Amino acid sequence: MAIEVKNISYTYPGSTVTAVENVSMKIEKGERVAIIGQNGAGKSTTVKLMNNIYKPTSGEIIIDGINTKNQTTAQTAPHVGYVFQNPFNQITGARDTVYGEIAYGLENFGVPVAEIKTRVEKIMEITNTTYLQEKNPFELSGGQQQRVALASVLVLEPDILVIDEPTSQLDPQVTERVFEIIKTMKQMGKTIILVEHKMELVAEYCDEVVVLHQGKVIRHGDKHDVLSEIELEKFGVMLPLTVYLANELKKHGVRMKDNIITSDEMADQLQKIGKKE
């Protein structure tokens, strides 16, 4: 088990409103789990609790068998890497080159210089940032900064990655590049927890989906089961466009396979229907 969340609740200091209430979930090692829901549902709060940035008001979180209750964020960091929504908040500015920025965390952990060089070069290749290594991180485009932010976390080699809306400020082409990196991390056996609003990408790249509404978990299961549930609209949840198309086709008498959520699945289904006709 990568992460076990047990009945956690959280109220921000000075607030009387519970941001997250009695949230529980289990995430297996190597899974890609998307946390979705309308704005204000508690998604970012939940992943910050998982990363030990916030401490639950009640309940507990177990990461790789370790209770985070008495751990600091720094103690959790080797196990869980956190990528912020805005890469500008992730870049430290402690170094004036991309190479130095990516290496900075390893330097703080006292990793030998030779190993730093090996790990930084490897992660720059994976994230396609090698050509940026001599540039100042603050002079990069938003997409380039996001890849550097990812690299600075990935180079620490955490088993679990928490990624909070990494593509909210990126164009479609750069977004695809970021998700290709996420796909590579999956292939490397990493556990990925992703907050994302772009449902087509969630449908394509994730394994399971958690739906939050008003700080509570209302759905958690296989992506095909959750994302094909048209009734989730009443909770302000946007679904993949393919789901709406499949629903309309069914209304017009077209016999569609259940739980179609990706464009590839839709294309395959329509091709089969065309051959039958």
What is the greatest pairwise CA distance in the chain?
66
Q: What's the helix, strand, coil split of the chain in %, to 5?
A: 45, 20, 35
Distances (CA, A) of 199 to 121, 208, 244: 33, 13, 12
CA dist., res. 87 & res. 80, Å (int): 17
> Contact at 8 Å (CB) between 109 and 156?
yes
> Contact at 8 Å (CB) between 209 and 33?
yes
* Total-model pTM: 0.90
> Contact at 8 Å (CB) between 59 and 7?
yes
pLDDT tens for the 277 residues of the chain, in order: 899 999 999 999 999 999 999 999 999 999 999 999 999 999 999 999 999 999 999 999 999 899 999 899 888 888 899 988 788 788 888 899 999 999 999 998 899 999 999 999 999 999 899 999 999 999 998 889 988 998 999 999 999 999 998 887 777 887 888 888 888 888 889 999 999 989 999 999 999 999 999 999 999 999 999 999 999 999 999 999 999 999 999 888 888 888 999 999 999 998 888 766 5
Q: Which helix (H) or strand (E) holds 24?
A: strand 18-27
CA dist., res. 100 & res. 112, Å (int): 15
What tokens were used for 165?
């809306």
